[in-house]
Amino acid sequence: MPKVVVDVMPKPEILDPQGKAVLGALPRLGFSGVTDVRQGKRFELEVGGEVTDEVLEQVRQMAETLLSNPVIEYFEVRVEQDA
Amino acid sequence: MKVGVVTFPGSLDDVDAQRAVRVGGNEAVALWHGDHDLRGVDAVVLPGGFSYGDYLRCGAISRFSPVMTELVEAAGRGMPVLGICNGFQILCESHLLPGALIRNDHRRFVCRDQRLRIENTRTPWTSSFAEGAEITVPLKNGEGGFVADAETLDRIEGEGQVVARYLDLNPNGSARDIAGITNERGNVVGLMPHPEHATEALTGSGTDGLGFFTSLVEQTFA
Protein backbone atom coordinates (compact mmCIF):
# COMPACT_ATOMS: atom_id res chain seq x y z
CA MET A 1 0.00 0.00 0.00
CA PRO A 2 1.59 3.31 -1.02
CA LYS A 3 1.91 5.95 1.63
CA VAL A 4 1.71 9.68 1.04
CA VAL A 5 3.97 11.51 3.46
CA VAL A 6 3.48 15.15 4.41
CA ASP A 7 6.32 16.85 6.26
CA VAL A 8 5.39 20.08 8.03
CA MET A 9 8.14 22.39 9.29
CA PRO A 10 8.14 25.79 10.99
CA LYS A 11 9.22 28.50 8.53
CA PRO A 12 12.87 29.50 8.97
CA GLU A 13 11.97 32.97 10.24
CA ILE A 14 9.59 31.58 12.90
CA LEU A 15 11.06 30.87 16.32
CA ASP A 16 10.97 27.15 17.14
CA PRO A 17 11.09 26.84 20.96
CA GLN A 18 10.82 23.03 20.84
CA GLY A 19 13.78 22.74 18.48
CA LYS A 20 15.74 25.06 20.75
CA ALA A 21 14.95 22.87 23.76
CA VAL A 22 16.27 19.80 21.92
CA LEU A 23 19.37 21.73 20.82
CA GLY A 24 19.99 22.72 24.43
CA ALA A 25 19.64 19.12 25.64
CA LEU A 26 22.13 17.58 23.19
CA PRO A 27 25.38 18.90 24.75
CA ARG A 28 24.14 17.90 28.20
CA LEU A 29 23.92 14.32 26.90
CA GLY A 30 27.43 14.50 25.52
CA PHE A 31 26.50 15.02 21.86
CA SER A 32 28.49 17.78 20.22
CA GLY A 33 28.68 19.43 16.83
CA VAL A 34 24.98 20.13 16.28
CA THR A 35 24.52 23.85 15.59
CA ASP A 36 20.75 24.01 15.10
CA VAL A 37 17.61 21.86 15.49
CA ARG A 38 14.22 22.51 13.93
CA GLN A 39 11.29 20.35 14.99
CA GLY A 40 8.39 19.59 12.67
CA LYS A 41 5.64 17.06 12.10
CA ARG A 42 5.36 14.09 9.76
CA PHE A 43 1.97 12.83 8.58
CA GLU A 44 1.61 9.42 6.94
CA LEU A 45 -1.50 9.08 4.83
CA GLU A 46 -2.51 5.62 3.67
CA VAL A 47 -4.32 5.88 0.38
CA GLY A 48 -6.65 3.25 -0.99
CA GLY A 49 -5.72 2.62 -4.62
CA GLU A 50 -3.20 4.30 -6.85
CA VAL A 51 -1.56 7.60 -5.95
CA THR A 52 -2.53 9.65 -8.97
CA ASP A 53 -1.84 13.32 -9.60
CA GLU A 54 -5.38 14.07 -8.45
CA VAL A 55 -4.75 12.26 -5.16
CA LEU A 56 -1.53 14.22 -4.64
CA GLU A 57 -3.33 17.46 -5.44
CA GLN A 58 -5.96 16.56 -2.82
CA VAL A 59 -3.25 15.84 -0.27
CA ARG A 60 -1.69 19.23 -1.00
CA GLN A 61 -5.07 20.83 -0.30
CA MET A 62 -5.33 18.89 2.97
CA ALA A 63 -1.84 20.05 3.90
CA GLU A 64 -2.69 23.66 3.12
CA THR A 65 -6.02 23.77 4.95
CA LEU A 66 -5.56 21.46 7.94
CA LEU A 67 -2.19 19.74 8.33
CA SER A 68 -0.19 22.98 8.24
CA ASN A 69 -0.79 26.62 9.04
CA PRO A 70 0.73 28.47 6.06
CA VAL A 71 1.24 31.56 8.23
CA ILE A 72 3.98 29.83 10.25
CA GLU A 73 4.73 26.54 8.50
CA TYR A 74 5.64 25.08 5.12
CA PHE A 75 5.07 21.53 3.92
CA GLU A 76 6.37 18.94 1.48
CA VAL A 77 4.37 16.07 -0.03
CA ARG A 78 5.99 12.86 -1.29
CA VAL A 79 5.05 9.24 -1.99
CA GLU A 80 6.72 6.44 -0.08
CA GLN A 81 6.55 2.90 -1.44
CA ASP A 82 6.71 -0.02 0.97
CA ALA A 83 10.02 -1.83 0.83
CA MET B 1 -27.72 42.41 23.55
CA LYS B 2 -27.57 38.63 23.23
CA VAL B 3 -23.97 37.46 23.38
CA GLY B 4 -23.21 33.84 22.49
CA VAL B 5 -20.37 31.98 24.19
CA VAL B 6 -19.21 28.89 22.30
CA THR B 7 -18.28 25.77 24.25
CA PHE B 8 -15.87 23.46 22.46
CA PRO B 9 -14.71 20.11 23.86
CA GLY B 10 -11.88 21.30 26.12
CA SER B 11 -13.07 24.88 26.65
CA LEU B 12 -12.32 26.02 30.20
CA ASP B 13 -13.39 29.61 30.52
CA ASP B 14 -16.80 29.47 28.86
CA VAL B 15 -18.73 29.78 32.13
CA ASP B 16 -16.58 32.68 33.33
CA ALA B 17 -17.10 34.34 29.94
CA GLN B 18 -20.88 33.88 30.25
CA ARG B 19 -20.79 35.44 33.69
CA ALA B 20 -18.67 38.35 32.46
CA VAL B 21 -21.19 38.93 29.67
CA ARG B 22 -23.99 39.17 32.27
CA VAL B 23 -21.95 41.37 34.61
CA GLY B 24 -21.38 43.62 31.59
CA GLY B 25 -25.13 44.06 31.22
CA ASN B 26 -25.83 41.67 28.36
CA GLU B 27 -27.65 38.37 28.01
CA ALA B 28 -25.36 35.31 27.73
CA VAL B 29 -26.40 32.53 25.36
CA ALA B 30 -24.60 29.18 25.49
CA LEU B 31 -23.59 27.95 22.02
CA TRP B 32 -22.38 24.45 21.22
CA HIS B 33 -19.49 23.70 18.85
CA GLY B 34 -21.47 20.95 17.12
CA ASP B 35 -24.46 23.13 16.19
CA HIS B 36 -24.92 24.87 12.86
CA ASP B 37 -26.72 27.63 14.72
CA LEU B 38 -25.86 30.95 16.37
CA ARG B 39 -29.32 31.09 18.00
CA GLY B 40 -29.97 34.66 16.96
CA VAL B 41 -27.17 36.24 19.00
CA ASP B 42 -25.83 39.73 18.28
CA ALA B 43 -22.22 38.96 19.17
CA VAL B 44 -20.04 35.95 20.03
CA VAL B 45 -17.24 35.22 22.50
CA LEU B 46 -14.84 32.33 21.83
CA PRO B 47 -13.53 31.47 25.30
CA GLY B 48 -10.17 30.22 26.55
CA GLY B 49 -9.15 26.66 27.22
CA PHE B 50 -7.65 23.77 25.31
CA SER B 51 -10.26 22.94 22.67
CA TYR B 52 -9.70 19.49 21.16
CA GLY B 53 -6.73 19.09 23.50
CA ASP B 54 -4.70 21.52 21.38
CA TYR B 55 -4.20 18.58 18.99
CA LEU B 56 -2.40 19.37 15.73
CA ARG B 57 -2.12 23.09 16.54
CA CYS B 58 -4.03 25.20 19.09
CA GLY B 59 -7.39 26.03 17.54
CA ALA B 60 -6.74 24.07 14.32
CA ILE B 61 -9.49 21.48 14.84
CA SER B 62 -12.01 23.91 16.37
CA ARG B 63 -11.77 26.04 13.28
CA PHE B 64 -13.65 23.33 11.39
CA SER B 65 -16.42 22.89 14.00
CA PRO B 66 -19.93 23.23 12.57
CA VAL B 67 -20.61 26.41 14.58
CA MET B 68 -17.51 28.07 13.10
CA THR B 69 -18.96 27.95 9.57
CA GLU B 70 -21.83 30.16 10.76
CA LEU B 71 -19.51 32.30 12.84
CA VAL B 72 -17.08 33.02 9.99
CA GLU B 73 -20.03 34.09 7.81
CA ALA B 74 -21.50 36.28 10.54
CA ALA B 75 -18.11 37.88 11.23
CA GLY B 76 -17.88 38.66 7.53
CA ARG B 77 -21.18 40.53 7.80
CA GLY B 78 -19.79 42.57 10.72
CA MET B 79 -20.95 40.69 13.80
CA PRO B 80 -18.75 41.50 16.82
CA VAL B 81 -16.57 38.52 17.76
CA LEU B 82 -14.15 38.37 20.71
CA GLY B 83 -11.66 35.50 20.98
CA ILE B 84 -9.83 35.17 24.28
CA CYS B 85 -6.67 33.03 24.55
CA ASN B 86 -7.67 29.76 22.85
CA GLY B 87 -10.41 31.81 21.16
CA PHE B 88 -7.71 34.11 19.76
CA GLN B 89 -5.87 31.04 18.45
CA ILE B 90 -9.07 29.80 16.78
CA LEU B 91 -9.63 33.19 15.12
CA CYS B 92 -6.08 33.16 13.72
CA GLU B 93 -6.47 29.58 12.49
CA SER B 94 -9.77 30.64 10.85
CA HIS B 95 -7.91 33.49 9.12
CA LEU B 96 -10.38 35.96 10.60
CA LEU B 97 -7.31 37.59 12.15
CA PRO B 98 -3.80 37.88 10.73
CA GLY B 99 -0.78 36.13 12.24
CA ALA B 100 -0.54 33.07 14.46
CA LEU B 101 0.22 32.10 18.06
CA ILE B 102 3.14 29.84 18.86
CA ARG B 103 4.71 28.35 21.99
CA ASN B 104 6.04 30.91 24.49
CA ASP B 105 9.66 31.75 23.66
CA HIS B 106 10.78 30.75 27.20
CA ARG B 107 8.95 27.40 26.81
CA ARG B 108 7.14 27.62 30.15
CA PHE B 109 3.47 28.14 30.90
CA VAL B 110 2.93 31.65 32.20
CA CYS B 111 0.28 32.69 34.73
CA ARG B 112 0.39 36.22 36.08
CA ASP B 113 -1.46 39.49 36.50
CA GLN B 114 -0.45 41.34 33.35
CA ARG B 115 -0.46 45.07 32.73
CA LEU B 116 -1.71 46.10 29.28
CA ARG B 117 -2.26 49.28 27.32
CA ILE B 118 -5.48 49.56 25.30
CA GLU B 119 -4.46 51.14 22.00
CA ASN B 120 -7.62 50.86 19.90
CA THR B 121 -10.93 51.94 21.43
CA ARG B 122 -12.89 51.92 18.18
CA THR B 123 -13.85 48.21 18.31
CA PRO B 124 -17.21 47.05 19.73
CA TRP B 125 -15.26 45.35 22.53
CA THR B 126 -13.03 48.24 23.62
CA SER B 127 -15.13 51.39 23.23
CA SER B 128 -15.63 51.61 27.03
CA PHE B 129 -11.93 52.28 27.50
CA ALA B 130 -10.13 55.60 27.21
CA GLU B 131 -7.48 55.52 24.48
CA GLY B 132 -4.18 54.50 26.06
CA ALA B 133 -5.89 53.14 29.20
CA GLU B 134 -3.60 50.91 31.28
CA ILE B 135 -5.29 47.88 32.81
CA THR B 136 -4.24 44.73 34.68
CA VAL B 137 -5.90 41.37 33.93
CA PRO B 138 -4.84 37.73 34.35
CA LEU B 139 -2.73 36.11 31.65
CA LYS B 140 -2.29 32.34 31.42
CA ASN B 141 -0.94 30.59 28.36
CA GLY B 142 1.60 28.14 27.05
CA GLU B 143 1.29 29.10 23.41
CA GLY B 144 0.68 32.84 23.46
CA GLY B 145 3.53 34.13 21.33
CA PHE B 146 1.98 36.28 18.61
CA VAL B 147 3.90 36.09 15.34
CA ALA B 148 3.44 37.40 11.81
CA ASP B 149 5.83 38.42 9.05
CA ALA B 150 7.33 41.91 9.25
CA GLU B 151 5.12 43.22 6.47
CA THR B 152 1.95 42.08 8.25
CA LEU B 153 3.18 43.53 11.56
CA ASP B 154 3.92 46.88 9.89
CA ARG B 155 0.48 46.86 8.30
CA ILE B 156 -1.52 46.07 11.43
CA GLU B 157 0.44 48.64 13.42
CA GLY B 158 -0.01 51.22 10.66
CA GLU B 159 -3.75 50.57 10.38
CA GLY B 160 -4.26 50.79 14.14
CA GLN B 161 -5.22 47.11 14.39
CA VAL B 162 -3.20 46.57 17.57
CA VAL B 163 -5.88 46.54 20.29
CA ALA B 164 -3.69 45.87 23.34
CA ARG B 165 0.03 45.74 24.07
CA TYR B 166 1.94 44.19 26.99
CA LEU B 167 3.47 46.62 29.48
CA ASP B 168 6.36 46.08 31.95
CA LEU B 169 7.45 42.78 30.37
CA ASN B 170 6.71 40.65 27.35
CA PRO B 171 5.35 37.44 28.92
CA ASN B 172 5.51 35.09 25.93
CA GLY B 173 7.76 36.48 23.21
CA SER B 174 4.95 38.12 21.23
CA ALA B 175 6.16 40.23 18.33
CA ARG B 176 6.27 43.93 19.20
CA ASP B 177 4.64 43.23 22.60
CA ILE B 178 1.29 42.64 20.89
CA ALA B 179 -1.35 41.21 23.26
CA GLY B 180 -4.43 41.68 21.09
CA ILE B 181 -5.41 42.66 17.56
CA THR B 182 -8.47 43.35 15.46
CA ASN B 183 -9.32 42.73 11.81
CA GLU B 184 -9.44 45.46 9.15
CA ARG B 185 -13.14 46.05 9.72
CA GLY B 186 -12.66 46.24 13.49
CA ASN B 187 -15.45 43.84 14.51
CA VAL B 188 -13.28 40.79 15.29
CA VAL B 189 -10.91 41.08 18.26
CA GLY B 190 -8.43 38.49 19.54
CA LEU B 191 -6.80 38.85 22.93
CA MET B 192 -4.34 36.56 24.73
CA PRO B 193 -4.95 37.88 28.31
CA HIS B 194 -8.22 37.13 30.11
CA PRO B 195 -10.48 40.13 30.84
CA GLU B 196 -13.35 37.75 31.75
CA HIS B 197 -11.43 36.78 34.90
CA ALA B 198 -11.27 40.41 36.04
CA THR B 199 -14.86 41.60 36.10
CA GLU B 200 -15.74 41.22 39.79
CA ALA B 201 -13.76 42.42 42.81
CA LEU B 202 -14.57 39.29 44.83
CA THR B 203 -12.89 36.81 42.51
CA GLY B 204 -10.66 38.73 40.15
CA SER B 205 -7.44 40.65 40.35
CA GLY B 206 -9.69 43.71 40.03
CA THR B 207 -12.37 44.76 37.58
CA ASP B 208 -10.16 46.14 34.83
CA GLY B 209 -11.46 43.58 32.34
CA LEU B 210 -15.07 44.68 32.61
CA GLY B 211 -14.71 47.23 29.81
CA PHE B 212 -14.53 44.45 27.23
CA PHE B 213 -18.03 43.39 28.23
CA THR B 214 -19.68 46.79 28.74
CA SER B 215 -18.47 48.19 25.42
CA LEU B 216 -21.20 46.36 23.47
CA VAL B 217 -23.93 48.12 25.45
CA GLU B 218 -22.32 51.51 25.02
CA GLN B 219 -22.13 50.97 21.28
CA THR B 220 -25.79 50.02 21.09
CA PHE B 221 -26.97 53.17 22.81
CA ALA B 222 -24.35 55.48 21.36
Mean pLDDT of residues grouped by 10 in chain B (222 residues)?
97 98 97 96 98 96 96 97 98 98 96 98 97 97 96 97 98 98 98 97 91 86 54
Q: In whole angstroms, what is the distance from residue B186 CA to residue B183 CA?
A: 5
Burial class from Cβ neighbours inside 10 Å (0-12, 13-18, 19+) for residue B161 reads: buried
Q: Could you tell me which chain A residue has the CA closest to the CA of B142?
A: A17
Instruction: Determine the pLDDT at residue A83.
Output: 56
Mean pLDDT of A56-67: 97
Instruction: Determine the pLDDT at residue A15.
Output: 92
> How are strands ordered across the β-sheet holding A3-10?
A41-46, A3-10, A73-80
Domains in chain A, CATH or no CATH each: 3-80 (3.30.1280.10)
Q: Would you call B100 and A17 a contact, using CB atoms and an 8 Å cutoff? A: no
Is A58's pLDDT higher than 60?
A: yes
* B2-221 carries CATH number 3.40.50.880: yes
Mean pLDDT of A46-70: 95
Name which of B100, B104, B106 is nearest A69 (Cβ-Cβ). Answer: B100
Q: What is the rounded average pLDDT for all residues in chain A?
A: 94
Is A48's pLDDT higher than 70?
A: yes
Is the CB of A49 inside 8 Å of chain B's CB atoms? no
Instruction: Determine the pLDDT at residue A67.
Output: 98
Pairing of strands B134-141, B110-118: antiparallel
Is the CB of B142 inside 8 Å of chain A's CB atoms? no
Name which of A14, A20, A67 is nearest B147 (Cβ-Cβ). Answer: A14
The pTM of this model reads 0.95
Instruction: Determine the pLDDT at residue B102.
Output: 96
Q: In whole angstroms, what is the distance from residue B194 CA to residue B177 CA?
A: 16
Hey, where are the domains in chain B? 2-221
List CB contacts (< 8 A) between A15 and chain B. 102, 105, 145, 147, 173
Cα→Cα distances B121→A13, B17, B216, Å: 32, 20, 12
Which of B62, B102, B141, B174 is best to mutate for the A interface (most A CBs within 10 A)? B102
* Closest alpha carbon to B194 in B94, B87, B52, B117: B87
Q: Mind giving me the DSSP string for A51-64? A: --HHHHHHHHHHII
Sequence-distant (6+) residues with CB within 8 A of A71 are B92, B98, B99, B100, B147, B148
Sequence letter at residue B172? N
Instruction: Determine the pLDDT at residue B217.
Output: 80
Sequence-distant (6+) residues with CB within 8 A of B132 are B117, B118, B119
